[in-house]
Structure 1
Amino acid sequence: MSLRESPFPNCFLEGLHAVGWGLIFPCFWFLDRLLAVCVSTSLERMWRIEQECYLHPLKLVFGSVLFFILFIISTPFALLGFVLWAPLQAVRRPFSYHHQVQSVHAEDRNARWEETRKVSFGFLTGNLCLLPDGVARFNNLGYTQKRASFIGKSIVQGVTRPHIRIFVDSPSSCGTVTPSSSLIPQPTPSSYGSVDFSITDQKDGTEADEANGPNQQQLPKPNCNQNSNQHKHPPRSLRDGDVLIEVSSLFPSSVDIVCLQEVFDKRAALKLAQALGPLYGHVLYDVGVYACQPAGTCSSFKFFNSGLFLASRYPVMEAQYHCFPNSRGEDALAAKGLLAVKLRGFPVTDSASQSICQLRLVPWDGEIRFEQLNMLTKWISEFQAVTRREDEMVMFDVLCGDFNFDNCSPDDRLEQSHSVFEEYTDPCRAGPGKEKPWVIGTLLEQPTLYDENMRNPDNLQRTLESEELRKEYLSPPVPLDGVPLVYPEPDQPWVGRRIDYLLYRESSVSSHCRTEVEEFTYVTQLAGLTDHIPVGFRLSVSLDSEEM
């Protein structure tokens, strides 16, 4: 059974919703621009200093007055739209589905599966902080619509590049040699994948919404004038047993499923869906609930959706969303929760299926997160029990997302010992509170996002490879209140906070399938575009030929 694209059961309700949101949007947009005028990112402050621009106070005064007046004028129309919009949330399905024929194709790394009796699946997860522009600036990130477009293009360009890896068998070999090594001519300084903070003359109508003066066009942008398989700086490659570990300035090639978090802004989500649709074909976005939740009550009003976003090369057969009911404070304004998805379509058998779940937990409160972990394990079990058929061959079961706790902070010890890590395998985890030596934190320090060591993929790659630089630019562990932090332990590397997880489970897959991680990648291609490090892994599934 395939999903319908509209979140509403008929065109009439969808039209009413569009009218209601159309009346609300101008008021929302003017408020967003008011915040954006008042809050500057560190990059904008740096530009003003470099260009000796002293007109910012005038822009701040006149811009804030103008947008405040427009906000007041549009408020009555927004209230009228709210009367139409809010009741319709009770009949809205908690996600939108975008489907189109795949017109952009990535390399098929499973073309010889019948000979090897192995298939592999690539996964990618990352937190993009695509909040409305005015709110995103409190995280030192602006220009939400432009960032969404650039991120979508970057993912497509990285995923569709050829998968090339050269192994050198010599005494001096240190493992994998990438196409950027001395075996292949080096690219020019402006290689593909670099983030260039130069002025661009291109600006479309939607991007003009976020114009904030003469510097509005100076944004990070993918530079596509070089071969997409080249790096300015070779990836850091090492092995943990049979697993290849890389820190790469490019997205991994042939990623099959992309799971993103904090895609809160509706327009940004649509831009991402349109950018990734030609490559993936199946996209779930605008995931979550709005207005009073549970429906018909006033216990909690949701201004934002969950921020979850999923793009898949395989058809989505079933999807189910659950909202965490115990969020508090500002986190209660967003419908953070769990998205469980069943995929189908890999041509091993006519009944092959896959299961993937992604989530975003709330920050700050460990007891609440522990309860939410209990909820998600229950919801996943119920979803799989309802959607699984006896004749299906389940090939993987993956759980990923922004867990908002790490495996090294003393303040997160409660969550570190949760049973979810007994059910699922975390390839980065050595045990509760202990990471493997090669692990790198995924949460960046927001004030330094645009420092020289962070502002482009190659520099960020070198930063992650250096333990001394990681201490300066990655978020450190969180100590217990009143207890001095002793970190790292003797003879252990400095890791930082790893709050973005990719887990997999073997107990729920078919008995004649064996899963293992063959590649794990830290991606720096979104340097300057988000405050998290996207991570990816490739799962290898060995098939028992006697059972096929």
Structure 2
Amino acid sequence: MAHPPWMNGVSAFPSPVLQFLFNVIEFIIRPFIFVLTGAAGPFVPTTPERDRPKYLAVQKIVFVPVYTVGVVLLFLPMLIAFLLRNILHQFRRPFCLSVRKDMAVAQPKSTYSVVTGNLCLMPEIFSKYNNLDKTAQRAVKIGERVVIDQMYYTEMMETFLKNHEHTTRNGCINTLGHGRIQTRSMDKSRDLNRSQNIDSEVKVDVIAHFPQLDFLCLQETFDRDYSKLLVAELHKVYPWIVFDVGYNSPRLNYCGLNSGLMFASRYEILDIRFKPFSSRCGFCTIVGKGLLMVKVCVQKKDTGKEVGYVFNTHLQAFQGDNPIVYRQLTEILKWSSEFRAETFEDGDEVLFDMLCGDFNIDNMSPGDVHVSEHELFETYVDVCREKPGKDYDWTVGTELRTPLLHDKAVSTPEGLKAAIEDPYLRQYYLIDADIESATMDSIYNAPLKKDKHGNLILSPVGGRRRIDVVLYRKQSPVMIQNYNIITRLASLTDHIPVSATFTCHH
């Protein structure tokens, strides 16, 4: 895969010879993955494919046999290459760092923004289980939408927010006081989530474009080739990008997928560490999930540096009755503290410490109650939590119902934004925060609450399974100014990114 000449960052291998051999092996494996996807893909159709039954029939009758022959012919070369690849993995550091050296260094400031988003950039056959396909195209489109918003829409968004604030002052938007929503609009259903003030400090918006972002914490960028497509786009804005994160071994992930974590920054990265979780179950046994730890420098001074810490993670999915997530949170708390202690240097002034990611739990579902009281939430602050087991009334979910991803009503950023702002549509398209046991069936096939006439029954936890979070550490306090629910990636992923804009206390 060809890349621009400035994508010459740090290789994951200590020797260019090993890197070359690894690239050759990957080249041998790719054709097998292609024909395997072609042979199995039509049997896991997405909604757009099911809407074209004749095309799907042709795929099964004509192309599946051809792809199956390819699978048989390419299996042995793939198996040999796969074994060699796993041997080379033992000499590889657990991440790639790509640095665009021709970009100007970002200037220090007092306010920064971070976003977290699960992109579902898995191997094609796995993406199709999430009702998503054309993963290479999605990777490019996701990168393009992020870049366009950073390069061209910043001024537009600032103007929009100023106008929104003016509307708020005129009493058309909800505000929150003493933990309860006080609605001043005549249309409660449409204004439930628009530009609210939490204790007169945090401003909450559902927005159709990304705000100006300094740091990106991304999950499920599992596939190496798709990740490189995304990196090529993001490098138009972000000079430092960490990707292809994770170890590969029979013990950790059965030589399967990496952690899926990616981190992009406008500011210089000083240090990077990755730790794989010790506990896992189900599908996650073939995924090398863990904690990506990054230290960034936002300003160098004669007396030292102003630095920040950003942690990115993706926790166990579909744990059922296993306490896996609880154990992983304990490891995050331990590793984040150790990383800060090990990388802190004389003269460092720590401005912020942010923990982001897909936690695969929410704060209100009965099956997640025991996790919501974990000590991590005493160390890291979640501005959406009123208390353990209860979110503020303005919160919304971040996990879409996969069978409905391609509905026309939510296929555009503006359409998804409108759906989130309407409590009935939100409950229809987003998963409820009432999960008894987090299994694949209970989440992917979560039933809609309807009466005997088929009408939707509005629930206080409807559409509010909030699993994508941005937290900050109490030890390095920041002031959250904006908390955004972002619909820019509508139809490109099954999650809704969230961002936080914060001011640092010096």
Which TM bucket (shorter chain)?
Answer: 0.7 to 0.9
Q: Following the alignment from structure 2 to structure 1, what is the Cα–Cα distance between the partners of residues 85 and 362?
A: 38
* Residue identity opposite 1:248 in structure 2: I
Tell me which residue corresponds to 2:465.
497
Q: Report if aligned partners of 1:102, 1:278 keep a CA contact under 8 Å in 2.
A: no
Tell me which residue corresponds to 1:147.
138
Tell me which residue corresponds to 1:88.
88
Q: 1:236 aligns with which of 194, 201, 211?
A: 194
Tell me which residue corresponds to 1:352.
306
TM-score by length of 1: 0.78
Per-residue CA distance 1:467-523 (angstroms, 9 max, x = gap): 111111111124436xxx9x9xx995645200001000131x3xxxx5110001000
* Residue identity opposite 1:86 in structure 2: N
Per-residue deviation at 1:79?
Answer: 2.1
Q: 1:42 aligns with which of 47, 58, 69?
A: 47
Q: Following the alignment from structure 1 to structure 2, what is the Cα–Cα distance between the partners of residues 54 and 171?
A: 55
Q: What are the within-5 Å matches in structure 2 for residues 215-294 of structure 1?
A: 236-240=194-198, 241-252=200-211, 254-293=212-251
Pick closer, same or farther for the CA change 1:516–1:61 going to 2, 3 Å. Answer: same
Pick closer, same or farther for the CA change 1:105–1:454 going to 2, 3 Å. Answer: farther
Per-residue CA distance 1:184-242 (angstroms, 9 max, x = gap): xxxxxxxxxxxxxxxxxxxxxxxxxxxxxxxxxxxxxxxxxxxxxxxxx9x93221121
Q: Following the alignment from structure 2 to structure 1, what is the Cα–Cα distance between the partners of residues 167 and 113?
A: 27
Counting aligned pairs with the same residue, the percent is 31
* Residue identity opposite 2:130 in structure 1: N
Q: Report if aligned partners of 2:294, 2:309 keep a CA contact under 8 Å in 1.
A: yes
Q: Following the alignment from structure 1 to structure 2, what is the Cα–Cα distance between the partners of residues 175 and 346?
A: 38
Q: 1:518 aligns with which of 478, 481, 491?
A: 481
Q: Following the alignment from structure 2 to structure 1, what is the Cα–Cα distance between the partners of residues 168 and 408?
A: 36
Q: What are the within-5 Å matches in structure 2 for residues 426-441 of structure 1?
A: 426-441=382-397
Q: What are the within-5 Å matches in structure 2 for residues 407-426 of structure 1?
A: 407-426=363-382
Q: Gaps spanning 5+ residues in structure 2: where?
A: 1-7, 175-190, 438-446, 450-457
Tell me which residue corresponds to 2:333.
377
Q: 1:24 aligns with which of 26, 29, 37?
A: 29
Tell me which residue corresponds to 2:148.
157
TM-score by length of 2: 0.84
Q: Following the alignment from structure 1 to structure 2, what is the Cα–Cα distance between the partners of residues 4 and 168?
A: 45
Pick closer, same or farther for the CA change 1:136–1:169 going to 2, 3 Å. Answer: closer
Would you say how many aligned residue pairs link Structure 1 and Structure 2? 453
SS state of the match for residue 345, structure 1? Answer: strand
Tell me which residue corresponds to 1:198.
none
Q: Following the alignment from structure 2 to structure 1, what is the Cα–Cα distance between the partners of residues 168 and 47?
A: 47
Q: What RMSD over aligned residues (CA atoms) do the two structures have, in Å?
A: 2.5
Q: Determine which structure has the larger helix proportion and give its number.
A: 2
Per-residue CA distance 1:383-410 (angstroms, 9 max, x = gap): 1111011310011000010000001100
Q: Following the alignment from structure 2 to structure 1, what is the Cα–Cα distance between the partners of residues 363 and 385?
A: 8
Q: Gaps spanning 5+ residues in structure 1: where?
A: 114-118, 177-232, 295-299, 544-548
Q: State yes or no: 1:331 paired with 2:284.
A: yes
Q: Report if aligned partners of 1:396, 1:506 keep a CA contact under 8 Å in 2.
A: no
Per-residue CA distance 1:26-60 (angstroms, 9 max, x = gap): 212221222223322112223x2xxxx63431221
Pick closer, same or farther for the CA change 1:301–1:175 going to 2, 3 Å. Answer: same
Per-residue deviation at 1:103?
Answer: 5.0
Q: Report if aligned partners of 1:126, 1:533 keep a CA contact under 8 Å in 2.
A: yes
Q: Following the alignment from structure 2 to structure 1, what is the Cα–Cα distance between the partners of residues 354 and 370?
A: 23
Pick closer, same or farther for the CA change 1:76–1:491 going to 2, 3 Å. Answer: closer
